[in-house]
A and B are shown apart, each in its own frame.
Chain A
Amino acid sequence: MRQRAMWSAVLVVGLALAGCGSASDSGKSTSSDGKLVVWDWKSGEPFAKSYLDKAKADFKKKHSDVEVEFVAQPFDQYYTLLGAAIQSGKGPDVMLFNGGGQIRDRVDALVPLNDYVTEDKQRLAGWEAFTKDAKIYASPVTLQGYPIYYNKAIYQKANLDPASPATTWDKFTADCTAIAKAGAKCFALGNKEGVGIQFWLSSLGSTTLTAQEYDAWITGKRDWQSPNVKRLFQLWKEAGDKKMNSDGANSTAMFNDSFALFQSGKAAHVMGLMSDVGHWQDFNEFLTPEKLGVMKAPIVTAGTTPSLPYDGGIGYAVAKWTKDPKMAADLVRSLSSADALKAFYADAGAIAADTTIDVSQAGPAVATLVSELKSGKPALHVALSSKTLDLMGRLSQQLLSGSITVDEVVKQLAASDQAG
């Protein structure tokens, strides 16, 4: 009797699976069937709703008979999943990418958008992060930068002037000593995943490298043996040795634990973001806009001029296997339309790629950030390949723990960088 029941169960499940197996195939490209599938990691979040609604409405005006389905994938596995989709040649029509190495490593699977986005070129900023060999592969949605935020309340407690943060590295370290005496840490640092060094490199890059070195770095001509490049890594180590960082940086996640340290007033500075989280809107909520400051990087190398490091943050791209690239490109354009980006700025607090959006109501920190966009430069770490960034993350942990020298670090990074 029991065996009969088991065989029946097998049969029932088998039949059920056979029926379910033919369920809709929303993971696959279906643009010719009146449907576009988009993969991202944003659409599931409540703050993205109005942004997507505006983008869909804009797209509907051009293609009223086409359905758009957004599939929010878990970010932790997003690029693994994308890799499998690219290898199998089947996946979404449109997909979200981070600017820099993540998209440049996968351009073989993408459609160049140059011919489709001509009208948007002037209105949007941040294209470089989605460009390879003069071909544009995604339209920017946000700008992502790496400003140094500071807590004015801690400055006051340490008897420092919140209106004039340090402009040189020596003055800055002296301020950090005062901050330590006041009971706070100088930097909120999370380097568990090795991401901390990336923000460090980009935040301090413009005041450590000369203008020529900086430009050469961005164009790929990186001199890893330059004293100024080495200085960036020495400063990283010095900050750790002088206990300027929050405790246990190598075991603290940047997202979102190090930002929580800053938000809760345990550290005076954080190298944060302009969009997503760990940015002005999050910090405003905890510190209030009046207490949140944004400072220029302190000058490490005499003669350098601080500039805001930023690039295109995230952007949507079109997959090569899509059946109607023009239609998919239209959707990408809708996702970067002015109305949609305005909603994204308002709800998510992102500095949108459309710099004409009025941000005057967002508080002084945003006003400072936006005013610095014009003189800003691409971030140093975004120019590196994801492989070199991974290596840098691991080496930065060893630097903090004291198990490797700066010379060895730059040697290994140079080898990885040259290997491409």
Chain B
Amino acid sequence: MSRVRLGWWLIAIPMSLLALATIYPLLFTANVAMKTRRDYILDRFSLTDALRWENISTAWNSVGMGRYFVNSLLVVTASVLLLLLLGSMAGFALSQLRFRGSSALFLGCLAGLFIPFQVVMVPLARIMADTALIDTYPGLVLVYVAQFLPFTVFLMTSYYKGIPPEIVDAARIDGSTVYGVYRRIMLPLGTPALLSVGILNALFCWNDVLMALVMMPSAEHRTLMVGVTSLRGQYSDNIPTFASGVLIAAIPVLLVYLFLQRQIADGVAAGSTKG
């Protein structure tokens, strides 16, 4: 065997194993979703003997997933649009505008990255209840924006730092206002980063359970992921139905990943290099 061919195998085998390990949970979930409860209890690892779509329809109908799907779509869309707007504005200001305290402001934004939701959950719930925002869509959108804005600002600032400041200076000399520079120059130039950070934020918001559960306790306002978790009771043992719910909730995320994987990878690396 030639050295080149051996090298190829040395890379291909571990990578294939890694890919299998990554995709196996999804295949396992899909397999379980097609089983009967009895088959699952007796041998969960065996392949299903039939495609039982009734588990999917049970999961879909039992907790009203159609409504939760719309709720998720609404909340995630609004959150992501607001995040992109605020994040890109802040990123532009912190990277391109010279003003006193900008570094401290940036560090302050970064500090938000290190505060887990569990720490602020109870006081936040109290504030939301006092302001009548609990159990409302705008309330959850605000929570998502607050939670994921530091990450968005960090990425957008890093990205905009790579744009030569001379472009801004030239536009200002030509008479453009700061808002005009942002709207006409920075927003179009930041499209790749906005797309990436938008996808990542959409995934974060879509997959969230805890924030959505605490901020939207009533049944009709639930998001899809909360709906899926409610398929499991304390000791509920209908795992095939639960697996079907997980599969339903995962499909949009998988589609996003399949079609936009390049942008997701770019988003993770945004700002890591200049130029």
Contact = CB atoms under 8 A, between A and B. Distances in A.
Interface in B224-244: 226, 229-237, 239
B38, B218, B226, most chain A CB atoms within 10 A: B218
B220 interface: yes
Q: How large is the interface on A (under 10, 10 to 19, 20 to 34, 35 or more residues)?
A: 35 or more
B128 interface: yes
B230 A73 contact: yes
A243 B232 CA distance: 32
B217 A75 contact: no
B221 interface: yes
B226 A256 contact: no
B74, B121, B216, B230, most chain A CB atoms within 10 A: B230
B201 to A, nearest CB: 14
Contact of A25 (B123, B135, B214, B231): B135
Given A3-B183, A16-B74, A23-B221, A9 B235 contact: no
Contacts of A72: 63, 219, 230, 233
Nearest to B209: A77
B111 interface: no
A82 to B, nearest CB: 9
A277 B236 contact: yes
A28 B141 contact: no
B217 A71 contact: yes
B79 to A, nearest CB: 9
Contacts of A24: 218, 220
Contact of B229 (A22, A77, A286): A77
Nearest to A73: B230
B229 A27 contact: no
B136 interface: yes
Interface of B: 38, 41-44, 62-63, 74, 77-78, 81-82, 85, 121-123, 125-126, 128-130, 133-139, 141, 183, 187, 209-210, 213-214, 216-221, 226, 229-237, 239
5 contacts: A10-B81, A17-B137, A18-B138, A72-B230, A276-B234
Interface of A: 3, 6, 9-10, 13-14, 16-18, 20-28, 37, 39, 41-42, 44-46, 69, 71-78, 80-81, 83-85, 87-91, 98, 255-256, 259-260, 263-264, 273, 276-278, 282, 285-286
